[in-house]
Chain A
Amino acid sequence: MKRDFLSGGVLIALAAAYYIATGTIAESTLSDEIGATGLPRLLAMLLAFIGLALIARTAFVALAARRANVPQVAADEEEGAPLPRAVGLLLIGGAYVVLLPFIGYFLSVALLIGAVAFYEGAARSWVLPTAALGGATLYWAIFVKLLGVHQPAGSLFLGWLS
């Protein structure tokens, strides 16, 4: 219930931010009747309307339940991992993106596999670095050598692994 109120508010805020951002779109002499801002502004208004409707519906359901003397059911139980845990995984991915241009593909992937496995509960043993280095070798062989994909060599190194 609370989550739907919050979602409605987020939708309205998103719609407002998006609408304001349409002000940065330049006018074009090639523009048609609608223009480059036409659909975005329509979408912003539509999203704001949906946000309002979501809040109104949630309020209506809450009021109806109160009138009927029905106790509020806490239906907002968590599904899957809690937010901080999930964001932690995302931050490891973010660290990979930041490190990639500096330390190169091979080391970044090795660190990524090792860090994610450790974060997800892998025991501290020789298996962890072995899997990380083995995985990095496997992906390096597939992407760089087999598929010929250009992956960053790493500005801190000489690029001997790419």
Chain B
Amino acid sequence: MTSFWDILHLLTATPLVPVAILGLTWGILGGALPGISASITMALVLPFTYTMDPAMAIALLACVYIGAEYGGSIPAILIRTPGTNSSAATVIDGYELNRQGRAGEALGISLMSGVVGSLFGLAMLALLTEPLSWLALAFKPTSYFALGILGLSVIASMGGDSLLKGLASAVVGLMIATVGTDPISGVTRFTFDVADLLSGVEPVVVMVGLFALTELMSQSGSTSVTQLGGSIRIRLPGWAMMRKLRRSQAIGCFLGLFEGLTPGGGGSVAAFMSYNEARRWSKTPEQFGKGSEEGIAAPEAANNTVASTALIPLLSFGIPSSNSTAVLLGGLLMHGLLPGPRLFEQNPQVIDSLYVGSLIAIIAQIGVGVLILPACIWLVNRPRPYRAGFILALILSGLFTLNNSPFDLGLALALGLMGYLMRLARFPVLPMILGVVLGHMVESSYRRSLVLSGGDFHIFVEDPIAVGLLGAALFFIVFSLAREYRDARRTQLQETHS
């Protein structure tokens, strides 16, 4: 149990406060740039955390996530372009308020609703994560194998428009994870005498390649011009407005908690669901779409809640439910930290730093959010060609810090091309990233189970946890297949009738 003195020590004897504020600032700036999602903002900073103290590195990444969720609402409100996917629902009423000359008010509502959602999400994270993680103590190697398969199945089935493509992406990710030294026998696999491949492919390189470089390539040559007015100032809502918004914020918080806990859920689903529910429960539903304050409060509370609650399944079981949490898992693994109860036992300082750092970032968000707006506007207004040059330079400079090896840069560029081709063919990239991240756990648990059973596959059906998890994985796959079949039939019928 963390004592007051532990927290005081964190605040005074470690650089947690500047780290949290730096992460928050970076997150807001990254989230404000259209096309740079929360996960890309996190992936860009990931290589820099390599040499940091693990506790500070994880706190930094969590604070970037919190900042990016708010940052995404800035262009959503000001130029009708969501900075991140999860701020897409904010566009509807946020931009409408901007058109009515109330942009400062809309930004203030977004900021404060985000703070409410983040505080609620953090409280849930602190309350639920450790008790849930103790369930993992009952896990055997068979259970861990089944858990990995469940994580991959859920993401593969929820990630895109085709289950087959999601599964193919996950399998390729697992294949990439087999490169390097075999976890059981120690022989090398698929290294082709390249020394840089002996320790395998770093998940960070895969994430930066598939998220950041792919996005940069996809935007290449884009002529879209974004211009923000420079004279906007945030107006924070007063008590009366906060009272008016409490119902929609509560809806956002509740649905954010639910979606954060759900594998495959995420900020954007939570934001749209809470927008709809807030309209349904509102006393003035007719105002939605015409500049309703509640229409901003609900989605912003929801996506900021998800930024914390999505960490619950990640820290308890090591299963990331979204791109951003996959990057955070990459950060944990990069520092040799395995999620689960042992993380709480052996590295309590990491958990404490994560919680306290997040709290600092949430509180600081009110001040930083107000102060940083002119910088966001300046950054968004930079010509896109120069932004692209600076971002590519940042990506390649950051990746070099991992191993001081040009090989990592070449690998990331190759993965960027792969991600681009996958996007063209409509293959989701998240299952591949998860395959790379979870590959080691899946293979070592699978083989350890069979070593224990002497090669008897019945061991997987003798463990009730493994049976439950594999059953759930099968359910997600069958459910996804049924959904695809139903959608295909519906499309076919519509085309026949038209």
Given A78-B424, A79-B424, also A47-B171 (CB < 8 A)? yes
What is the minimal beta-carbon distance from A49 to any residue of chain B, in angstroms? 10
B385 within 8 A of A: yes
Pair A81/B220 contact, Cβ less than 8 Å:
yes
Q: Looking at the complex, which one of A43, A51, A117, A136 makes contact with B385 (CB distance below 8 Å)?
A: A117
Given A86-B218, A101-B406, A149-B401, also A50-B167 (CB < 8 A)? yes
Which residues of chain B have C-beta atoms less than 8 A from A57's C-beta? 164
Given A3-B424, A81-B217, also A139-B393 (CB < 8 A)? yes
A159 within 8 A of B: no
Which residues of chain B have C-beta atoms less than 8 A from A118's C-beta? 385
Bound-state Cα–Cα, A78 to B426, Å:
10
Q: Looking at the complex, which one of A47, A81, A112, A136 makes contact with B396 (CB distance below 8 Å)?
A: A112
Pair A70/B187 contact, Cβ less than 8 Å:
no
Bound-state Cα–Cα, A113 to B164, Å:
39
Which residues of chain A have C-beta atoms less than 8 A from B220's C-beta? 80-81, 85-86, 88-89, 119-120
Which residues of chain A have C-beta atoms less than 8 A from B178's C-beta? 39-40, 43
Of chain A, the residue at the smallest CB distance from B174 is A43
What is the minimal beta-carbon distance from B29 to any residue of chain A, in angstroms? 15
Name the interface size band of chain A: 35 or more
Instruction: Give the secondary structure class of A's interface.
Output: helix
Pair A33/B455 contact, Cβ less than 8 Å:
yes
Of chain A, the residue at the smallest CB distance from B425 is A7
Pair A147/B48 contact, Cβ less than 8 Å:
yes
Which residues of chain B have C-beta atoms less than 8 A from A88's C-beta? 220
A59 within 8 A of B: no
B120 within 8 A of A: no
Which residues of chain A have C-beta atoms less than 8 A from B425's C-beta? 3-4, 6-7
Q: Looking at the complex, which one of A36, A70, A89, A132 makes contact with B216 (CB distance below 8 Å)?
A: A89
Q: Looking at the complex, which one of A27, A80, A147 makes contact with B219 (CB distance below 8 Å)?
A: A80
Bound-state Cα–Cα, A100 to B222, Å:
28
A34 within 8 A of B: yes
Given A116-B392, A132-B389, A151-B400, also A47-B496 (CB < 8 A)? no
Pair A70/B175 contact, Cβ less than 8 Å:
no
Given A51-B168, A112-B396, also A31-B184 (CB < 8 A)? yes
Which residues of chain B have C-beta atoms less than 8 A from A87's C-beta? 217, 417
B413 within 8 A of A: yes
What is the minimal beta-carbon distance from B402 to any residue of chain A, in angstroms? 10
Given A3-B425, A33-B454, also A68-B492 (CB < 8 A)? yes
Bound-state Cα–Cα, A6 to B165, Å:
13
Pair A120/B217 contact, Cβ less than 8 Å:
no
B394 within 8 A of A: yes
Pair A150/B48 contact, Cβ less than 8 Å:
no
Pair B394/A139 contact, Cβ less than 8 Å:
yes
Given A33-B454, A112-B392, A132-B389, also A54-B172 (CB < 8 A)? no
Most-contacted residue by chain A among B165, B175, B492 (CB, 10 A)? B175
Pair A113/B443 contact, Cβ less than 8 Å:
no
Most-contacted residue by chain B among A25, A78, A135 (CB, 10 A)? A25
Given A25-B187, A81-B221, also A32-B383 (CB < 8 A)? no
B404 within 8 A of A: yes
Pair A86/B175 contact, Cβ less than 8 Å:
no
What is the minimal beta-carbon distance from B271 to any residue of chain A, in angstroms? 23
Pair A33/B401 contact, Cβ less than 8 Å:
no
Most-contacted residue by chain A among B51, B178, B393, B413 (CB, 10 A)? B393
What is the minimal beta-carbon distance from A152 to any residue of chain B, in angstroms? 8
B488 within 8 A of A: yes
What is the minimal beta-carbon distance from A148 to any residue of chain B, in angstroms? 9
- Since A28-B182, A86-B420 are in contact, a sample of 17 more A-B pairs with Cβ atoms closer than 8 Å, ordered by chain A residue number, is A7-B427, A33-B447, A33-B450, A36-B182, A50-B171, A53-B164, A80-B218, A81-B217, A86-B217, A87-B217, A96-B396, A105-B397, A109-B393, A120-B389, A122-B385, A122-B386, A147-B48
Which 10 A-B residue pairs are closest in the complex by CB-CB distance? A80-B218, A120-B385, A116-B389, A28-B185, A33-B455, A86-B217, A113-B389, A122-B385, A36-B182, A81-B220
Interface residues of B (CB under 8 A from A): 48, 51, 162, 164-165, 167-168, 171-172, 174-175, 178, 182, 184-190, 192, 213, 216-223, 383-386, 388-390, 392-394, 396-397, 400-401, 404, 406, 409-410, 413, 416-417, 420, 423-427, 443, 446-447, 450-451, 454-455, 488, 492, 495-496
20 A-B contact pairs sorted by A residue (CB < 8 Å)? A4-B425, A18-B175, A21-B190, A33-B447, A38-B447, A50-B168, A65-B495, A70-B492, A80-B217, A81-B218, A81-B221, A86-B417, A97-B396, A97-B406, A112-B392, A113-B389, A113-B392, A118-B385, A121-B221, A139-B394
